[in-house]
Each structure stands twice: as structure tokens, then as C-alpha cells.
Structure 1
């Protein structure tokens, strides 16, 4: 008997609210689809940003290595020039 009443209530509910329930189900499905699209876009953006960060880190490391090499080279040249200058000054003082 309780099952029959429940079944009757479900039938009445479907008659009265069926259209509204279908409309809401359609809305929820559309929202779920949009959410999935946004999640996919966000995931693609995160992946692209991660790749860009890795690229920038590699470029930064290469630039750092290049600058370090240039600095070492310039330091060596400066030491040689300074040594030649001291040698020249020493010779001038000795001669004169």
C-alpha cells in the first residue's frame, strides 16, 4: 500500500513538475558542460604557463652562464692589463 501511494505521488509529481525538472536537468547539463570546458581551458593555460616558466628558466640559466663567462674573460683581461701597467711603471721607475 505504501508503495502504491509513493508510486502515485511520483506520477503526480511527474505530471505537475516534469517539465520544470527536465528544464533544470537541461540547465545542469549545460552548466556541467561549460564547467568541463573551463576546466580544460584552465588546465591548458596552466600547462602553457609551466612550459613558459621552464623556457624562461633555461634562457635565464644560459644568459647567466654567458655573463659569467664574459665577466671571467674581462677579469682576466683586466689582470693582464694591470700587470702590464705595473711592469711598465716599474721599468720607468727603475730607469729614471
Structure 2
């Protein structure tokens, strides 16, 4: 089981990778709040996806988030590090179908 700090770092790494790729990918029409709920740690983070970037990552849940990733800490680490495909955890993502398609392009 990964720690809360490892999960926080994974999200920050993902944010850095998305920021580096944002210009190359062009404008992605996705502006949504995001919550990442870690089921095995009882912890959560939230932020915002906008213009192909993940910004304002903060500790704590956002119950009104438009996109929610409900996942174990190890799966989050594996997903961010490319050892787990998004399609394998699609049932863990709560979002409307159009947002899911846009997320696939982003990740």
C-alpha cells in the first residue's frame, strides 16, 4: 500500500507531465473539478483539469467534483506511472461519458 505522500507526489508528477504536454496536445475542451479518493487510505485530493492541465491540487475531498477517481493508492501510483491502463480502472472513474472520452485523450 502506497502512502498518502506517495500519492500526493504521483498527482504532482502527473500535473507536471500534463503541463509539459499541454501545448503539444492542443486545446482540450475540458474544464472540470476533479476529486481523487483513495479507498485504502481514507484520504482524498482535489484539483481542477483545465486546458489540458491539472492544477490547484489540494488535500481533501470535493464532494461536488464533476470527475471523481475512486481508487486504491497502489492503483493510482501504477496508473500515473504507466503500469496500469486507464481502461482497466474505467469503472473507478465517476464522470459523464463525454468527459471520460476527453480524459482518455489527456492521459
- TM-score normalised by the chain length of structure 1: 0.24
Q: Which has the higher contact order (CA 8 A, sep 6+)?
A: 2
- TM-score normalised by the chain length of structure 2: 0.22
Q: Which has the higher Rg, Structure 1 or Structure 2?
A: 1
Which one has the bigger helix percentage? 1
Which one has the bigger strand percentage? 2
